[in-house]
């Protein structure tokens, strides 16, 4: 093969390779399996499309450079004789390097590359500013894995580079701002010296972009006066809005969310009376919600800092339960009206049935799907003095001293999405559906029988706790 024919092959293969690389960047390209070392023609295309990696020869006294064709052809001949089983990574094109690096970073290990080869590929692609590699390397260095030791500075540099790339979406940059904010807040790159100015910049960017974590972390800064003047109103507004938003996600079944962290902070506001009335029982309710949320999140994966969050929640519950007197009677009867109102909270549609059980009248309620997706969000029922907490879509309440039962149409079954309690010679519960009254019940009181096993508090067996620095 003379230089002219090789040049023609190079030009042809190069155009095809450039087109394939463009398709790869758009996510449209799918690489053939086992492309390398399967036939000499495929190998040659791989070689000639990666000419930049071959040694150059410089003519004496001439500033021009030439590609070492002789070595290239010698490699092809050795491949044909079966002397090579693989093309060395330095001869791969960018598509092959990109796929190999992504696979190793996603798997957390490399089977076909040495550590030196893998890191060389990653560094080259990072220098070329491939966002998918910068992101994967950044997260690998953030916590450390089998491929990279924990390296906060390397992680920071990857995410800073991503923030400068025009092809990276603004939404993705808000997520990277989350990571950068944590690095600066916990002094990961400054030898223990706070960098609150940088923290505030990235927390604000991420919070405005919808990152729930950064909403409550920004609240921490305002509440503690870290890098900003202390402002309780700003902190309370950030925590409360994040709490309400993430609670809906949690109750709708989202297991990996930031609700546990937001509920932990909301409970602290009620404990200390910051922006709200001091209310130990409401604090207990928030922390029980947080306990349920962190338990579900930890069951889904090993997320950094969750061990410390779980430990903080348990500690707060232990301290607040020392303040709230516990009912001694394990068959304690609590306020049933509160349970019925909890079922229709936030306008959730419910179906109620009134029936007689022995000498008592019983009201059974169950939540109905709000839309065609069949989703039923559980109601939050809590009685701190009885150490009772439950997430349920149904409940039964007994009327004591029944005086009057009225339902629209005279049926023992009615529907409602609102319940109001009146005092008029007894407890009067008025139920409405779409603004129209559907039932009115009058009794001396309404009792919710707490199961004996639940009264007196939950008993949980602690399996393991992982304590981390800088938890959420």
Walk along the chain (472 residues) and give the pLDDT tens digit of each residue.
444 444 444 444 444 455 555 554 555 544 443 343 334 445 555 555 444 444 444 444 444 445 566 766 776 677 667 665 566 777 788 888 888 888 888 888 887 788 888 999 999 999 999 999 999 999 999 988 888 999 999 999 999 999 999 999 999 999 999 999 999 999 999 999 989 999 999 999 999 998 999 999 999 999 999 999 999 999 999 999 999 999 999 999 998 999 999 999 999 999 999 999 999 999 999 999 999 999 999 999 888 789 999 999 999 999 999 999 887 765 557 789 999 999 999 999 999 999 999 888 999 999 999 877 788 999 999 999 999 999 999 999 999 988 889 999 889 999 999 999 887 556 899 999 999 999 999 999 899 988 765 544 443 333 333 334 445 5
109/32 same-domain check: yes
What does the alpha-carbon distance between residue 302 and residue 108 come to, in Å, rounded to a whole number? 15
Tell me the two tokens of residue 210: 């919808």
d(C-alpha 84, C-alpha 128), whole Å: 29
User: 66 lies in which domain range?
Assistant: 3-137
The pLDDT of residue 409: 87
pLDDT at position 113, please? 85
Instruction: Say whether both 317 and 337 belong to one domain.
Output: no
Would you say residue 27 lies in a domain?
yes
Do 387 and 308 lie in one domain? The reply is no
What are the backbone dihedrals phi and psi of residue 242, each rounded to the nearest 5 degrees, phi first?
-70, -40
CA distance 48 to 285: 67
- Rounded CA-CA distance 47/92 in Å is 7
Domain boundary among 321, 349, 373: 321
Q: How many CB atoms lie under 10 A from the CB of residue 161?
A: 19
Q: Which residues of 255-284 are buried (b: 16+ CB within 10 A; e: fewer)?
A: eebbbbbbbbbbbbbbbeeebeeeebebbb
Task: Please tell me whether residues 233 and 191 are part of one structural domain.
Answer: yes
Q: Are residue 85 and residue 194 in the same domain, yes or no?
A: no
Q: How far, in Å, are 5, 10, 252, 311, 427 from residue 258 at the CA level?
A: 62, 53, 14, 16, 39
Q: Measure the CA–CA gap between 101 and 96, rounded to whole angstroms.
A: 9
Q: What is the DSSP string of 307-374?
A: HHHHHHHHHHHHHHHTTSPPPS-TT-EEEHHHHHHHHTGGG--EEEEEEEETTEEEEEEEE--SSTT-
245 and 274 belong to one structural domain = yes
* Exposure of 75 in the CB half-sphere (CA atoms within 13 A): 21
Same domain, yes or no: 301 and 358: no
Nearest alpha carbon to residue 297 among 180, 305, 315: 305
Residues 266 and 388 reside in one and the same domain: no
Kindly state whether residues 278 and 421 are assigned to the same domain: no
Nearest to 403 by CA among 431, 440, 439, 442: 442
Domain count of the fold of the chain: 3
β-pair partners for 420: 430
- Phi and psi (nearest 5°) for 445? -165, 170
Residues 12 and 133 in one domain: yes
Indicate whether 314 belongs to any domain. Answer: yes
Element containing residue 431 per DSSP (H, E): strand 427-433
Calculate helix-pair angle for 131-143, 152-164, nearest 10 degrees: 150
| pLDDT tens per residue, range 135-191 | 999 999 998 888 899 999 999 999 999 999 999 999 999 999 999 999 999 999 999
Any idea what DSSP says for residue 40?
H
Looking at the structure, tell me whether residues 305 and 341 fall in a common domain. Answer: no
Domain presence at residue 445: yes
Angstrom distance (rounded) from CA 226 to CA 195: 10
The H-assigned helical ranges of 39-145 are 40-48, 69-80, 94-107, 115-127, 131-143
Same domain for 87 and 16? yes
Which residues are 436's β-sheet partners? 433
Residue in the structure block whose two tokens are 């139920």: 431
Question: Is 374 a domain residue?
Answer: yes
């Amino acid at each position: 093969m003379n230089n002219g024919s090789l040049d023609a092959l190079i030009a042809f293969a190069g155009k095809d390779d450039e087109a394939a690389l463009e398709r790869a960047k758009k996510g449209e390209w799918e690489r053939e399996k086992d492309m390398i070392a399967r036939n000499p023609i495929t190998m040659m295309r791989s070689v000639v499309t990666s000419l930049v990696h071959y040694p150059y020869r410089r003519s004496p006294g001439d500033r021009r450079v030439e590609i070492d064709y002789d070595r290239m052809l010698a490699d092809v001949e050795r491949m044909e004789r079966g002397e090579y089983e693989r093309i060395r990574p330095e001869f791969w094109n960018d598509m092959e390097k990109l796929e190999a690096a992504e696979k190793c970073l996603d798997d957390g290990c490399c089977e076909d590359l040495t550590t030196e080869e893998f890191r060389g590929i990653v560094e080259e692609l990072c220098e070329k500013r491939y966002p998918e590699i910068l992101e994967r390397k950044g997260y690998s260095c953030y916590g450390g894995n089998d491929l990279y030791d924990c390296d906060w500075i390397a992680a920071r540099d990857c995410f800073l580079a991503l923030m400068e790339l025009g092809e990276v979406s603004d939404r993705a940059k808000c997520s990277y701002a989350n990571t950068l904010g944590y690095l600066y807040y916990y002094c990961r790159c400054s030898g223990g010296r706070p960098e609150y100015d940088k923290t505030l910049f990235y927390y604000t960017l991420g919070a405005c972009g919808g990152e729930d974590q950064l909403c409550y972390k920004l609240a921490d800064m305002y509440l503690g006066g870290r890098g900003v003047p202390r402002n309780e109103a700003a902190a309370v507004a950030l925590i409360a809005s994040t709490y309400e938003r993430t609670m809906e996600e949690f109750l709708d079944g989202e297991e990996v969310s930031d609700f546990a962290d937001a509920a932990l902070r909301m409970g602290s506001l009620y404990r200390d009376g910051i922006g709200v009335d001091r209310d130990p029982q409401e604090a207990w309710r928030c922390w029980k919600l947080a306990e349920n949320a962190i338990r579900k999140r930890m069951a889904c994966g090993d997320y950094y800092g969750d061990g410390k969050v779980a430990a903080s929640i348990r500690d707060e519950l232990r301290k607040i339960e020392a303040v709230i007197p516990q009912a001694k009677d394990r068959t304690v009867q609590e306020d049933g009206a509160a349970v019925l109102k909890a079922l229709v909270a936030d306008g959730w549609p419910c179906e109620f049935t009134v029936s007689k059980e022995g000498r008592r009248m019983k009201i059974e309620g169950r939540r109905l799907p709000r839309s065609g997706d069949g989703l039923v969000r559980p109601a939050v029922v809590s009685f701190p003095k009885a150490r009772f907490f439950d997430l349920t879509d149904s409940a039964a309440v007994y009327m004591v001293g029944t005086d009057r039962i009225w339902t629209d149409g005279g049926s023992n079954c009615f529907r409602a999405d609102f319940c109001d309690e009146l005092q008029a010679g007894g407890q009067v519960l008025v139920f409405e559906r779409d603004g129209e009254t559907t039932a009115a019940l009058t009794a001396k009181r309404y009792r919710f029988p707490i199961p004996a096993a639940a009264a007196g508090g939950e008993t949980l067996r602690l399996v393991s706790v992982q304590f981390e620095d800088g938890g959420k």
